[in-house]
Amino acid sequence: MFCRFPSVPPYTAQNNVALHTKRALSLVSRHFRDISIEFMFETVQLFHADRAQLLADTIQSHSGSPARWIKYLMVFWAGEDDVEVMDATLIQLLPHCKNLVAFVWDTPGMWQSEFKDRHRDNASDLLKSIPLGIYVLQWTRMSLGESFHCLRHHSSLQEFRVFGVESVSSDGDGVTIPSLTHFEARHCEPLYSWSLPSLSHLTIAQITEHHLGGLWDTIRSIVIEDCSVGTSDTLPRIIAHLHKLESLSYHISVDTVGGRFEGSWLGVANQRCLTDVYIHCHPRTHHGLEVPSTTEDFFSRHLHPIVTGALTNLRNIHILNARIVFEKASRQGEVPTDQANFLANLSSRLSTPAVLVGFQM
């Protein structure tokens, strides 16, 4: 059960094509217009405050407001407009969107230091204006943790992606989101102080026992993106706290020199629920020769404790992005002619009667 979020429609060229098609249909006849207009407003993407204001004016001036058809509202803010103007306009607009399913605020280039230092705000008023029936929230914007206190009232909110939250208190912000089941957090400082009683699926960039605080008890699936998580005894300590964990996904660099990942699973205690482990491969971070002949030894040493019975209910180890092995080896002229066969044979040698080790390119 690998943690996956139902996708919010992204901004793509295909969306523009679809919009042109819907607009063309609305011009065919009144009948076609009545049918297609609902779908024209299903996904709304805003890039500038003036366009947001135009939409707000349109909605407020029509008795049969098209806001009732908006299900996905996405704001892409690149810092060209005053953020307070955009917020004020959205605060006018959002209360009319009674059937809103997902709200997205995306800030391209947010992690550029000069951008981040200029734009850090309390977005409480905007977040409060989001309809209570929303199901998905994506928030890529440097904000203060206290801005999210209002989410305790959003009882339908089940999926939340947040990028960039700072705390003004050493004790955290005490945010509560009662029905949240899927949470994706990056650069979220006060996470350890949040209360998420329904959380079952967590994606997190970096992790320590301190970071998760009281979140341990309900998590069934976790994705850890920090490639250094496997270089120490972090994984066994995490497993020891996650008593209901069924699926673990983590990232490693395929370093076949230095033995950095040999002790990743040493001392792991049995965890009765864990059945699937997903390992995302990344290029090595150390210099040195890396060829397929060393790959088997690397994975064998890394996985030995858990394929030999330390986790009694483990059934599958999925090694993803395995093409990294061949991309690095190609520089040394050691690439097997049949890469699929190489991985199939490696899978067979690493697997045991109880645990299947599989590779995906």
Contact 166, 120 (CB under 8 A): yes
165 three-class SS: strand
What is the spatial distance between Cα 310 and Cα 305, in angstroms, rounded to a whole number? 6
Q: In what order do the strands lie in the sheet with 247-253?
A: 43-46, 72-76, 102-106, 136-144, 159-166, 182-188, 201-204, 221-224, 247-253, 276-282, 316-320, 356-359
Task: Output DSSP code: residue 250.
Answer: E
Dmax of the chain from CA atoms? Answer: 71
Phi/psi for 67 (5° steps) reads: -60, -25
Contacts of 166 (CB under 8 A, 6+ apart): 120, 142, 143, 144, 145, 189, 190
State the pLDDT at residue 113. 45
Q: pLDDT tens, position by position, for the chain (361 residues)?
A: 444 554 555 544 445 545 555 555 455 455 455 555 666 788 899 999 999 999 998 888 876 778 888 999 999 988 777 888 999 999 999 999 999 999 999 987 665 544 444 455 668 899 999 999 999 999 998 888 888 999 999 999 999 999 988 877 655 568 899 999 999 998 887 888 889 999 999 999 887 666 666 677 899 999 999 887 877 678 888 888 888 999 999 998 876 555 667 778 888 888 889 999 999 988 865 544 444 457 888 888 889 889 888 899 999 999 999 888 777 555 555 556 688 888 899 999 999 999 999 999 8
The 10s digit of each residue's pLDDT in 190-207 is 888 889 999 999 999 887
What is the spatial distance between Cα 82 and Cα 296, in angstroms, rounded to a whole number? 55
State the pLDDT at residue 337. 65
Contact 207, 224 (CB under 8 A): yes
State the pLDDT at residue 20. 55
- For the chain, the domains span 1-225, 228-361
CATH fold group of domain 1-225: 3.80.10
The 10s digit of each residue's pLDDT in 9-63 is 554 444 554 555 555 545 545 545 555 566 678 889 999 999 999 999 888 887 6
Strands 182-188 and 159-166: parallel
Which of 305, 306, 323, 302 has its CA nearest to residue 315? 306
Cα-only R_g, the chain: 24
Three-point CA angle 46, 47, 52, nearest 5°: 50
> Considering the entire predicted model, what is its pTM?
0.84
State the pLDDT at residue 134. 96
The 10s digit of each residue's pLDDT in 174-193 is 889 999 999 999 888 788 88
Cα 129 to chain center, whole Å? 24
Task: Give the alpha-carbon dihedral of 118, 147, 202, 224, to 10 degrees.
Answer: 30
